[in-house]
């Protein structure tokens, strides 16, 4: 059972990531390694207060966030979806019915991350505009400019003042750059992007902006765990929670 689940977890990670893999060129750690040996002094660890201080004197900006494992611990929703739609295979990840379930309320099973709440609150105090960019597939029938249930959940739990519709990956957006999120980062003139995956950091680099790593919780179904700090990016302390 453990072996089967591990294979499923890896499949989930591959499906939701888009873009070429790049070897790490800086010291890095995942949360399990940190738990075993402590935080590496070679990584650029930052607190939310440090980020806020670095932005002092700067005008309000556009800031983007990944969703899964960045602002939501969404593994419960994905696990439930697998059990419901394809318990014996990975087909649910390519099943529009599953994505309809997630976008139409499945994230009720997801847990908001407290670190994300603190970061978002800081940016809203500054007057920054918040965007959510995801590698997920949009629920069927979602109209342009419409907030789906996931967007409404994010708006409520993070107290978003001016909620924009979630920006979902499409074949077109994924084809425009090396990394799928680069399209929206450029479209919204984003200055700062937060994400847990290597692809989040690499998309920020591709767009020429500052990317800050959020730690992926060790209990996430999205395996393998990425090496935080591996591209020289800043990493938010204790952001796995």
Predicted confidence (pLDDT) per residue in 83-106, tens digit: 999 999 879 989 999 999 999 999
| pLDDT the model gives residue 9 | 44
Question: Closest by alpha carbon to 96, among 143, 139, 144?
Answer: 139
Of the residues 50, 66, 69, 198, only one is catalytic, namely 66
Region for residue 39 given its phi and psi (left: phi exceeds 0; alpha: psi -120 to 50; beta: otherwise): beta
Is 104 labelled a binding residue? no
Report the Cα 144 to chain-centroid distance in Å: 22
pTM of the model: 0.92
| Mean pLDDT, residues 116-124 taken together | 99
- CA distance linking residue 169 with residue 160, whole number of Å: 22
Q: Give the max Cα distance, the chain.
A: 54
DSSP-H helix ranges across 19-138: 31-37, 48-54, 75-85, 96-103, 114-126
180 is catalytic: no
Is 200 labelled a binding residue? no
- Cα dihedral across residues 81, 86, 88, 90: positive or negative: negative
| pLDDT the model gives residue 6 | 42
CATH of domain 2-236: 3.40.50.1000
What tokens does 1 get? 């059972």
Of the residues 50, 68, 88, 180, only one is catalytic, namely 68
Over residues 201-241, the pLDDT tens digits come to: 999 999 999 999 999 999 999 999 999 999 999 999 999 99
Question: Closest by alpha carbon to 130, among 67, 172, 82?
Answer: 67
Report the Cα 16 to chain-centroid distance in Å: 10
Is 105 labelled a binding residue? no
| Mean pLDDT, residues 128-152 taken together | 97
Q: Given a cut of 90, is residue 77 above it in pLDDT?
A: yes
69 is catalytic: no
Is 211 labelled a binding residue? no
| pLDDT the model gives residue 16 | 62
Q: How many beta carbons lie within 10 A of that of residue 171, not counting itself?
A: 7
Question: Closest by alpha carbon to 137, among 128, 148, 129, 153?
Answer: 148
Over residues 7-48, the pLDDT tens digits come to: 444 444 434 657 899 999 999 999 999 999 999 999 999 999
Is 97 labelled a binding residue? no
């Amino acid at each position: 059972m453990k072996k089967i689940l591990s294979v499923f977890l890896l499949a989930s990670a591959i499906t939701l990531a888009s873009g070429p893999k790049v070897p790490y060129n800086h010291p890095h750690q995942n949360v399990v390694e940190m738990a075993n040996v402590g935080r590496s002094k070679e990584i650029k660890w930052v607190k939310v207060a440090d980020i806020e201080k670095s932005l002092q004197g700067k005008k309000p900006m556009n800031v983007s966030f990944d969703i899964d494992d960045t602002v939501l611990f969404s593994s419960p929703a994905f696990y439930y979806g697998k059990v419901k739609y394809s318990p014996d295979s990975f087909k649910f990840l390519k099943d529009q019915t599953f994505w309809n379930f997630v976008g139409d309320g499945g994230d009720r099973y997801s847990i908001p991350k407290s670190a994300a709440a603190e970061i978002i609150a800081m940016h809203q105090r500054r007057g920054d505009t918040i965007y959510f960019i995801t590698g997920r597939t949009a629920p069927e029938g979602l109209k342009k400019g419409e907030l789906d249930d996931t967007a409404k959940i994010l708006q409520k739990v993070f107290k978003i003042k001016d909620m924009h519709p979630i920006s979902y990956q499409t074949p077109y957006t994924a084809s425009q750059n090396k990394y799928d999120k680069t399209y929206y980062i450029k479209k919204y003139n984003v200055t700062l992007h937060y994400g847990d995956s290597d692809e989040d950091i690499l998309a920020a680099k591709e767009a020429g902006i500052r990317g800050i790593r959020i730690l992926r919780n060790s209990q996430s179904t999205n395996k393998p765990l990425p090496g935080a700090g591996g591209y020289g990016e800043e990493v938010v302390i204790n952001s796995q929670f």
